[in-house]
Amino acid sequence: MLHESVWLVSLALMGLVLAVFLFVYSQSHVREDDYTPLQKRAYRLRARLFWVLVVTLGPAMVYNLIDLPYGAARAHAAGTGVRVIEAVGHQWRWELSGNEVTAGQPVEFRVTSSDVNHGFGIYDTELRLVAQTQAMPGYINTLRHTFERAGTYRVLCMEYCGIVHHNMIAEITVTEP
């Protein structure tokens, strides 16, 4: 009974849509109006709107993109005082080539996995995520980070990798310069 009602309502709505299309088609006829002045006005308006967007959104874009880490990546690549730590994810532990760094010193983590995908997440002393990358078998991801404050940071796996995933914890001690 309900199906029949829905079917009838659907047919009525489809008929209404068809009637609207037929009405629009019957009322449309080729007009010989000259749209050139209207087109020129629309193009002028479009050009003005474009420049308004460039002038207003351009500085906002620059302001927001200033903090991107690409400049810092170039400084790291220069090799000036960069501490390199090899990080390998295993089921279910992290193997770090070092776990002590100095605050303010750039650190380059070279992250890979020996078995399955892992998520390499560094958390600060208040357990807020400060940096992350993926640990994948056969591939090395490079993560560059500069620790601003001293303390004990935790490296946690961010991708479920098996039954003891919750035990994949390593610590990095950041000391004062």
Domain that holds residue 49: 36-67
For residues 156 and 83, the answer to whether their CB atoms sit within 8 Å is no
Per-residue pLDDT tens digits for 107-124: 999 999 999 999 999 999
CB atoms within 10 A of CB 38: 10
Rounded Cα distance, 175 and 104, in Å: 9
Per-residue pLDDT tens digits for 134-158: 999 999 999 999 999 999 999 999 9
Tokens of 139: 């591939």
Are residue 107 and residue 52 in the same domain, yes or no?
Answer: no
Q: Per-residue pLDDT for 77 more than 70? A: no
Average pLDDT, the chain: 87
- For the segment 84-107, the average pLDDT, to the nearest whole number, is 93
For residues 153 and 175, the answer to whether their CB atoms sit within 8 Å is no
The predicted pLDDT at position 30 comes to: 61
Q: Is 102 helix (H, G, I), strand (E, B) or coil?
A: strand
For residues 118 and 159, the answer to whether their CB atoms sit within 8 Å is yes
Are residue 145 and residue 87 in the same domain, yes or no?
Answer: yes
Rounded Cα distance, 87 and 171, in Å: 12
Are residue 119 and residue 96 in the same domain, yes or no?
Answer: yes
Tokens of 110: 């070279």
CA nearest 152: which of 169, 135, 132? 169
- Tell me which amino acid residue 25 is: Y
Q: Is the pTM for the entire model greater than 0.85?
A: no
Q: Look-up: residue for tokens 């279910």?
A: 92
Say which CATH number the domain at 132 has.
2.60.40.420
The predicted pLDDT at position 41 comes to: 87
For residues 128 and 151, the answer to whether their CB atoms sit within 8 Å is no
Rounded Cα distance, 170 and 157, in Å: 9
Are residue 105 and residue 137 in the same domain, yes or no?
Answer: yes
- For the segment 25-46, the average pLDDT, to the nearest whole number, is 79
Are residue 85 and residue 169 in the same domain, yes or no?
Answer: yes
Question: What confidence tier does 70 reach under pLDDT thresholds 50, 70, 90?
Answer: low
